[in-house]
Structure 1
Amino acid sequence: MGWKSGFVIIWVFCIQFVLQSNAILDPLDFLALQSIRKSLKDVPGSNFFQSWDFTSDPCTFPGVYCDSDKVIALNLGDPRAGSPGLTGRIDPAIGKLSSLAEFTIVPGRVIGKIPETISQLSNLRFFAVSRNFLSGEIPAAFGELRNLHTLDLSYNQLTGSIPRPLGSLPVLSNLILSHNHLTGSLPPFISNSLTRVDIMHNNLTGSIEPDSLPASIQYLSLGINKLSGPVFTFLPKLNQLNYLDLSMNRFTGLIPCQIFSFPISNLQLQRNQFFGPVQPVEQVTISTVDLSYNRLSGQVSPMLSTVQNLFLNNNRFMGLVPGNYVDRLMDATIQTLYLQHNYLTGLEINPTAEIPLSSVLCLQYNCMVPPAQSACPLKAGDEKTRPTAQCIEWRG
């Protein structure tokens, strides 16, 4: 036998000796870990891989968790906040870890594409590689992972569309793809376990189909995209929402009155093309409601006076501001009330009244001289009132 064949036998024998002496890891998992290690390294200031010495049991390495002779979790990098992270690429050998249920990489400088071999990880439940520099498209192979419940690829440089097969995952609970460069439309999702969808700050387009989102969703963030169309087709059934951000899109139509009764703590609908009146059917208990920079019109609803931070500026509201707003401003129940850049004609407040320091009121650029206000934001401009001609034209 030649020297090369003899070297291979000795190399395999050494691996088997290490594995047998520790009575643990499966050889395929051992070799996969070696490949993964070679494709990643510590950035300066990180010592995560310092103790990854393959002459010892890999199941004792930081971030490696085993069950019997198989790797079931791989958490790569120092998880402490502010740690420098890792650099390199995700090696396709990850697909050889047949029992892997969890894979994470801490924020760092990992680049390149997500390997298609992830389709082989039939047990994968949790995949999170956020705040790195991953590029390319999200592999459609994720749609083959029927046990996947969390996918977090936020804050990377991913392009292309959201793979439609992702929507068919039966137990998907958390989908976090924010701060990438994703395009195309939002696919429909079938999982009744889906509670969190965060795809803000991408380039998604198109409208959202009526049955695209299950009623189980509690956190929906689609802000800073290019989504369009009406929202009354899908929003009213999402009655478990506790956070909603559709800001900075191109949504149109009426704002469904039902959403003001949802258990939401923060409602962000600003900078869209919503129009018409806003008419909640009962007192709104949401702490922050931002409807600014739309085309909303009609009277300011007294039902919104119980909102702590209310932004109605840069719309087309008209008429008198209801008196209960004054009451809640004066007792500091309202902390922020932005009404600037509308067509309002009055607010009944004592000219000598002093608004509490903890409250902010801005009435600039309406069809009246502001009777009282605290400091307005700089972008409200310097003009106190609208030109009379605009007000007459609007009322007419």
Structure 2
Amino acid sequence: MPLYVISQQSDQTTLLTVKQQLGNPPWSAAWNASSSPCDWPEIVCTAGNVTNLILQNKTITGKVPPAICDLKSLTYLDLSYNFIPGRFPTVLYNCSNLQYLDLSQNWFVGPIPSDIDRLSSSLQYINVGANNFSGDIPPEIGNMPEIRTLYLYQNEFNGTFPAEIGDLANLVNLGMAYNDKFLPAKVPIEFGKLTKLQFLWMADCNLIGEIPDSFSNLSSLEHLDLAYNLLQGPIPKGLFQLKNLSIVYLYRNQLSGEIPTPIESLGLTEFDLSMNNLTGPIPDDVGKLQKLKLFNFHTNQFSGTIPPSIGRIPTLANFRVFTNKLNGTLPPELGLHSNLEGFETLFGVVASSNKLTGKVPESLGGCPSLRTIQLYNNNFSGEVPLGLYTLFNLSSLMLSNNTFSGGLPKRLARNLTRLEISNNMFSGEIPKEVSSWVSLVVFKASNNQFSGPIPMEFTSLPQAITLFLDGNSLTGEFPMIIESWKSLSTLNLARNKLSGPIPAQFGSLPHLLNLDLSENKFSGQIPPELGLLRLTTLNFSYNELTGKIPDEDYRRKKLNRKLAGWKLTSFQILKFTKADILPRMTENNLIGSGGSGKIYRITVPNSEEFVAVKRIWNNRKLDHKLEKEFLAEVEILGTIRHSNIVKLICCISSEDSKLLVYEYMENQSLDKWLHGKRRTEREPFSISRGLVRPVLLDWPTRLQIAVGAAQGLCYMHHDCSPAIVHRDVKSSNILLDSEFKPKIADFGLAKILAKRSEPNTMSAVAGSFGYIAPGREANDGDEHTNLAEWAWRQQGEGISIIDALDEDIKEPLFLEEKTTVFRLGLICTSPQPLSRPSMKEVLQVLRQCDPLEGCGGKKMGTEYDAAPLLGSANTYLSHYKRSIKVSDEDSDCIVLNV
């Protein structure tokens, strides 16, 4: 009998023992004596011997089976993303040939053993991140000479870490971040001996003292993250002379002194020194960084001028230098030299709270991808380039507290929601074309030199919440007919020269809370209709009015009777009461209606904020049992805190109606941006047509939305106890905030509705038709959509990229990333539920596709970070090839919605 057959039989016996020690879990059904272990999904063989055992995300709840180390040729062991309890599994000391060991994302506790160096002398990779290990990291870890990757991140270590890590001469990746319970400690000088180190991740490790000068010896270093610590003193002189450095995160420390020069790290793509105490000028050398995408130097004490050469960086996407002591002008060519067609590189310019002077560069008006411009609290002068007002994607333009001059534009960008120009020298009249400012929510133009009458068109802004025009020279009577101020919360026209009567129609503005018409020349009776309002502030002083302030006692009594039957259950500190919500649930505030209820947009009193209120359909009163179940489940949802899940603020309930109050998402649902009717150039823009898509989503934005949504689902599936399965994930349930950050909505609601519905009308697995994964209700079900069969068919038929791409992203840029995401979608929609990846795996792959992901976040290294979904076809993709042919040659077929 050949030796490899004997070896396979021995390995098969061992693996069947491992299966038994694991309790014969369902996923191991293929492990049987009638087949070769080399054909089992979790096994990889080399020359007939079992070398790789991949038990990632198998819901293992018991201890590590001792029999694993009877696999004599085992070199690769992945036990990550399970629920393995107890102390470090010292039984693995017997795996004498082990080179790769991943124990991350489990429930291990206690200290790392002091004899950790008894692990295989061949070990190159060890990951114990995201567990609950505590105590000290033992110095013996420095006795493992072959280690190339050491990940200890996100544990409960409450002791120290050893300088002996600096003895690991072959170390390439070191991740110790998010161990904020470490005792305060300096970065060991010995770390400077790690000349092969490429990735150093020590964010939030309670580091103190200075960055060692020895770091200038890290000649291979590419990624340096020491953010969120208490580091002091200067940046080492030679740090930015490291030729391979591409990412530097030193933000949120207490670093001081000037930026050392010369800067010779010409491959830098992300450079974040924000929130420190750095001084001196921004070096001219920064302009030589021709690959720079992210430039965050804000919240320091930098002085001098911004080097003009920064404006010529072709890849610059984020430029933030606010809250410094800078003077001079903005680089005149800022945004002009993008190497992408249409100058679609620069996303944001934030240079507020400095001493910058001169004019705003005309070149900024040629950056249609700009989403925010914040130049307030400076000394800019001259007229604002007209192109700035009409930038296609611009949502926020903040220019207050400068000396700008000129008039108001007749047109604004269709997506501009915030225009702040107070305390400048703007002049002229309010143009009648102001009626085209249909998206404007906040307009602050106090203390300028505007004159002339207020045109009736000014009252037709449908989205306006806050309007400040106080401290100008406006004249004439206020329009008696208010066309469309149904959202208005604050109106300040004080210190002008307005005259005539106050319109009675002010009393019909349902959200008006703050009204200041003081120091004008208004005359006549104060309209009694104002008594219908719930005003927080009212100032009519220094006018020529007669009569009394309207009595609101009747309205208050009527409202109190209406509120008596409602109960409010809060999950946050509230800025409102039920009395602020219920009267405002009118058709004027209705923004959506679906299968489960209506949604209203309500203004929060004394603020510029909204909340979204969902009234759940209900045709009958809930009995006592269902009422308790509803409130119990809502209480669970109210405790969830994640930046990619829409926040449930409170629940307001009565006997026959339920209201869920959520944070409001300004850009509404992803569905409207992907599938809404595309507006043509000649077609007028109208907010009332809810499905108009005003802006195309480019690939980087779509990918960042996908990453954010995956982060939210990952939290629900893996970090909530019990886990939450959405069961209705679709683009209409992914909401976008003002910066297109995605948040998952309506999770858990499907389950609530299922409890309340009749058994014969709704399945126990609720959700929209076509969005429920086939096979079973599982944590892996959310990734399935009714496009699955079509996508698999497209892949199998080898449809070309031209035919398969979304029309909006047909450009050949990012082809590799698009291919990866499409393949990921295929794997997520596998007909076999047990074969689908977890959301943690999905998130890892998406993050690797995103060049800007990890900005201050928990970004992993590169040596072994290619998830099995991408890096090991034998492990994952080969499983799918058995049913549908998927090969590397087929990667030109992609269809993309996100």
Q: For the structure 1 residues 21 and 155, does the alpha-carbon distance in structure 2 shift closer, same or farther, using more than 3 Å as the test? A: closer
* 1:339 maps onto 2:421 in alignment: yes
* Distance (Å, rounded) in 1 between the aligned partners of 2:372 and 2:439: 19
Report the more deviating stretch, 97-106 or 157-166.
97-106
* Counterpart for residue 33 of structure 1: none
Count of aligned positions: 341
- What are the Cα deviations for residues 195-221 of structure 1, in whole angstroms up to 9, with x where unaligned? 111000001101123224522211110
Q: Secondary structure at the match of 2:449?
A: coil
Q: Indicate the residue corresponding to 1:303 in structure 2.
A: 387
> SS at 2:165's partner residue?
helix
The 1:137–1:230 alpha-carbon spacing in structure 2 relative to 1, beyond 3 Å, is same
Tell me, yes or no, if the aligned pair for 1:338 and 1:362 is still in contact at 8 Å: yes
Q: In structure 1, how many angstroms separate the alpha carbons of the residues matched to 2:241 and 2:348?
A: 29
Q: Gaps spanning 5+ residues in structure 2: where? A: 1-90, 100-105, 130-140, 339-344, 472-490, 498-898
| 1:11 alignment partner in structure 2 | none
Identity across matched positions, percent: 25
Matches within 5 A, 1:189-228: 189-213=263-287, 214-228=289-303
Deviations 1:310-367 (A, max 9, x none): 1111111112122223xx4xxx432221111211113533399485466322212211
Task: Provide closer, same or farther for how the CA distance between residues 186 and 383 of structure 1 changes in structure 2, counting only shifts above 3 A.
Answer: farther
- Which one of 192, 202, 214 corresponds to residue 141 of structure 1? 214
- In structure 2, relative to structure 1, the CA distance for the partners of 1:311 and 1:76 (3 Å cut) is same
Structure 1 match to 2:328: 253
Which is worse superposed, 152-161 or 356-365?
A: 356-365
Q: Does 1:294 align with 2:378?
A: yes
Q: CA RMSD in A?
A: 3.5
Q: TM-score, normalised on structure 1?
A: 0.76
1:15-36 Cα distance to aligned partner (Å, 9 max, x none) = xxx999654699xxxxxxxxxx
Equivalence map 1:1-16=2 (5 Å): none
Distance 1:158 1:186 in 2: 15
TM-fit CA distance, 1:254: 1.5
Question: Where does 1:24-103 land on structure 2 (aligned, <5 Å)?
Answer: 47=108, 52=113, 54=115, 57=119, 59=123, 62-63=127-128, 70-78=146-154, 85-103=156-174
Q: Does the C-alpha gap of structure 1 residues 20 and 268 become closer, same or farther in structure 2, counting only changes over 3 Å?
A: closer
Deviation at 1:118, TM superposition (A): 0.8
What is the deviation of 1:304? 0.2
Distance 1:227 1:156, change over 3 A: same
Residue 176 of structure 1: aligned partner: 249
Question: Deviation string for 1:158-212 (max 9, x for gaps)?
Answer: 0000111101101001111000000001123202211111000001101123224
Residue identity in the other structure for 1:256: P
2:408 corresponds to which residue?
Answer: 321
Taking a change above 3 Å as real, the CA distance of residues 22 and 115 of structure 1, as seen in their structure-2 partners, is same
Residue 229 (structure 1) shift: 0.8
Separation in structure 1 between the aligned mates of residue 218 and residue 126 of structure 2, nearest angstrom: 27
* Structure 1 partner of 2:189: 116
2:228 corresponds, among 146, 155, 158, to: 155
Name whichever structure is richer in helix by fraction: 2
Task: Assess if the C-alpha contact under 8 Å between 2:308 and 2:331 holds in 1.
Answer: no
Q: Secondary structure at the match of 2:335?
A: helix
Query: Which range moves more in the overlay, 142-151 or 365-374?
Result: 365-374
Which of the numbers 354, 358, 366 marks the counterpart of 1:283? Answer: 366
Query: What SS does the corresponding residue of 2:447 show, helix, strand or coil?
Result: coil
Counterparts of 2:232 and 2:317 in 1: how far apart (Å)? 29
In 2, the alpha carbon distance for the partners of 1:377 and 1:116 equals: 57
AA aligned to 2:377 is Y
Instruction: State the secondary structure of the residue aligned to 2:257.
Output: coil
Separation in 2 of the partners of 1:87 and 1:61?
20
Match of 2:177 in 1: 106
Spell out, residue by residue over 1:272-322, the C-alpha distance to the aligned partner (whole angstroms, 9 max, x if none): 111111141453311111111110111121010113311111111112122
Q: Tell me the TM-score normalised to structure 2 length.
A: 0.35
Match in the other structure for 2:808 = none
Conserved? CA contact 1:202–1:225, under 8 Å? yes
Q: State the Cα deviation string for residues 2-55 of structure 1 (Å, max 9, x = none).
A: xxxxxxxxxxxxxxxx999654699xxxxxxxxxxxxxxxxxx97455675847
Structure 1: how far apart are the matches of 2:213 and 2:416? 48
Q: Which residue of 2 aligns with 1:391?
A: none
* Aligned residues of 1:187 and 1:212 also touching (Cα < 8 A): no
Contact 1:71 1:100 in 2 (8 A): yes
Could you say which residue in structure 1 is the equivalent of 2:745? Answer: none
Q: Does 1:368 align with 2:450?
A: yes
Cα distance in 1 between the residues matched to 2:170 and 2:291? 29
AA paired with 2:331? P
CA contact (8 A) 1:230 1:253 kept: yes
> Are the aligned partners of 1:124 and 1:148 in contact in 2 as well (CA < 8 Å)?
yes
Deviation at 1:143, TM superposition (A): 0.6
**Structure 2 residue identity aligned to 1:283:** G
How big is each residue's C-alpha offset from its partner over 1:119-166, in whole Å with a ceiling of 9 and x where there is no partner? 221111111111231100001111101001111000100000011110
Q: Which of 205, 211, 218 is equivalent to 1:132?
A: 205
